[in-house]
Structure 1
Amino acid sequence: MSETAGVREVKSAARTVELLELLAARGDRPARLQELADELGVPRSSMYALLQTLITRGWVRTDTTGSLYGVGIRTLLTGTTYLDSDPRVRLVRPYLDEASQELGETIHLGRLDGPNVAYLATRESHEYLRTISRVGRRLPAHAGALGKALLAERPAGDLPEGPYAPLTPRTHTTRDALAADLAEIRARGYAIDREEAVTGIIGFGFALRYDTPAQDAISCSVPATRLTPDHEAEIVTVMRETRARIESATAPGGTVNWR
């Protein structure tokens, strides 16, 4: 049994969390009982009992045959509460609105979550269809503007060895290539994702330095076909100003400092 900060992990709680994370990671692909039991290495009977408990409480749902399983509505309600109760998200949302209106582009707020970035808020442009920016979705930090902006706030030695998973032919897949890009980001002051996360989309990411190291970042995404040098300069100017206003509006103290 593993320990965290000297406290023994509760095995049943850990298994419940692992199950919910596994179902969430599958997205729109429901799982069968045996698949879940095999993946988590638990007896089929134990997995069935756990699933039935979570179904009763709304954390897992099943189909009419009772053979397929996915996340339940309680996961949505809990996620919504996280967003509504987070003071940083509440503070940043109005600035995302203003930047989106001024630029006519899609604006994001993301937070570092291990090796990934989770989208916490998005203001979408009407000029192109959304691709990966749904709130609650995660993207590998090495591939997008949000993640690279946050990785650049950390020591170069903290980067994992790699190789990194490619999302497009332009994704950095080696530690050396990513480290060189992060060095340029530190010198420039913001990150650029030139079709590294999504083909056809260019992003500009700006770390929010109200925490040290920064945990949150904002970004602007624009179709490559519509990005001109003048528009790029406009995006950088507006996003820099937006970052400065957000950081200035962040009052010290008065909120819970979540880990």
Structure 2
Amino acid sequence: MSETGGVREVKSAARTVELLEVLAARGDRPARLQELADQLSVPRSSMYALLQTLIARGWVRTDVTGSLYGIGIHALLTGTSYLDSDPRVRSVRPYLDEASESLGETIHMGRLDGTDVAYLATRESHEYLRTISRVGRRLPAHAGALGKALLAERPDEAVPAGPYEALTPQTHTTRAELLADLAAIRERGHSVDREESVLGIVGFGFALRYDTPAQDAISCSVPVARLAPGHEERIVAVMREVRDRIEGVAAPRAGAPHWR
């Protein structure tokens, strides 16, 4: 048994969480019993019993044949509760609306989670609709505007070692490339993702410094075809102003929990 914070990990609980994470990561690709048993190194009979328990409680769903498994609706309900209960997300949402309306572009809020960024809120542009930024999506921090803005808030020694996954031909795949970009971000004050995470899309990221180091960031995503020089300058100016206003209203409140 491994230890977490000095307390022995509960094996059955860890296995349940690992199963849910595997199913969630598969998206629209349902899994079969043997696949899950093999991936998690669990006996087939134990995996079947665990799946049936989670199906009964709504955390896992199965098809009419009982042979395919996917994430259940209770995962959505719990995720929604997380967003609704987070004061920072509630504080930021109105400013995302303002930025999206002002710029006519897609605006995101994300939070660093290990080596990834999880999208917590998004406002889609009326000019173009894409599904690259849905709430709950995860993106490697080294590849996107949100993640790079947050990595730049940390010392170089805290940046994970490469090589990194290439999402597009423009993605930084070596630590040297990424560290050079992070140095430029610190100098500039915001990150730029020029088709590093999605081809055809440029992103501008701004860390929200109400935590030290920053855990959250906002960004603006723009199709390359719409990115005239004047528009880029306006995006940076508007997003800087929005960032400053968010930091002013989202400062820690006396008595509020300080989540880790």
Aligning the two structures, in what range does the TM-score lie when normalised by the shorter sequence?
over 0.9
- Residue 129 of structure 1: CA displacement? 2.3
Aligned to 2:184: 184
Q: In percent, how many aligned pairs have the same letter? A: 80
- Residue 5 of structure 1: CA displacement? 1.3
Q: Which residue identity lines up with residue 109 of structure 1 in the other structure? A: M
Q: Which residue identity lines up with residue 241 of structure 2 in the other structure? A: E
Normalising by structure 2, report the TM-score. Answer: 0.98
Kept in 1: contact 2:91–2:246 (CA 8 A): yes
Aligned residues: 259
3-state DSSP class of the match of 1:218? strand
Aligned to 1:120: 120
Aligned to 2:101: 101
Kept in 1: contact 2:59–2:75 (CA 8 A): yes
- Residue 59 of structure 1: CA displacement? 0.2
3-state DSSP class of the match of 2:170? coil
- 1:12-31 correspondence runs (5 A): 12-31=12-31
- 1:90-239 correspondence runs (5 A): 90-239=90-239
Aligned to 1:81: 81
3-state DSSP class of the match of 2:47? helix
- Residue 18 of structure 1: CA displacement? 0.2
- Residue 187 of structure 1: CA displacement? 0.5
Aligned to 1:258: 259
- 1:26-41 correspondence runs (5 A): 26-41=26-41
Q: Which residue identity lines up with residue 193 of structure 1 in the other structure? A: D
Q: 129-138 or 223-232: which moved more?
A: 129-138
Aligned equivalents of 2:150, 2:82: Cα separation in 1: 21
Aligned equivalents of 1:154, 1:238: Cα separation in 2: 25
Aligned equivalents of 2:96, 2:38: Cα separation in 1: 43
Aligned equivalents of 2:30, 2:252: Cα separation in 1: 44
Deviations 1:189-232 (A, max 9, x none): 00000000000000000000000000000000000011011000
Aligned equivalents of 1:199, 1:41: Cα separation in 2: 37
Aligned to 2:249: 249
Q: Which residue identity lines up with residue 218 of structure 1 in the other structure? A: I
- Residue 132 of structure 1: CA displacement? 1.4
Deviations 1:118-154 (A, max 9, x none): 0000011011121410000101100000000000000
Structure 1: runs of 5+ lacking an equivalent:
none
Q: 89-98 or 247-256: which moved more?
A: 247-256
Aligned equivalents of 1:52, 1:88: Cα separation in 2: 36
3-state DSSP class of the match of 1:202? strand
3-state DSSP class of the match of 1:88? helix
Aligned equivalents of 1:86, 1:73: Cα separation in 2: 20
Q: Which residue identity lines up with residue 86 of structure 1 in the other structure? A: D
Q: Which residue identity lines up with residue 202 of structure 1 in the other structure? A: V
Normalising by structure 1, report the TM-score. Answer: 0.99
Structure 2: runs of 5+ lacking an equivalent:
none
Aligned equivalents of 2:252, 2:220: Cα separation in 1: 27
3-state DSSP class of the match of 1:222? strand
Aligned equivalents of 2:92, 2:227: Cα separation in 1: 25
Aligned equivalents of 1:32, 1:89: Cα separation in 2: 36
- Residue 82 of structure 1: CA displacement? 0.3
| Residue 68 in structure 1 maps to residue 68 in structure 2 | yes
Give the CA RMSD over aligned residues: 0.7
- Residue 23 of structure 1: CA displacement? 0.4
- Residue 117 of structure 1: CA displacement? 0.4
Aligned equivalents of 1:86, 1:175: Cα separation in 2: 33
Q: Which residue identity lines up with residue 190 of structure 1 in the other structure? A: H
Q: Which residue identity lines up with residue 115 of structure 1 in the other structure? A: T
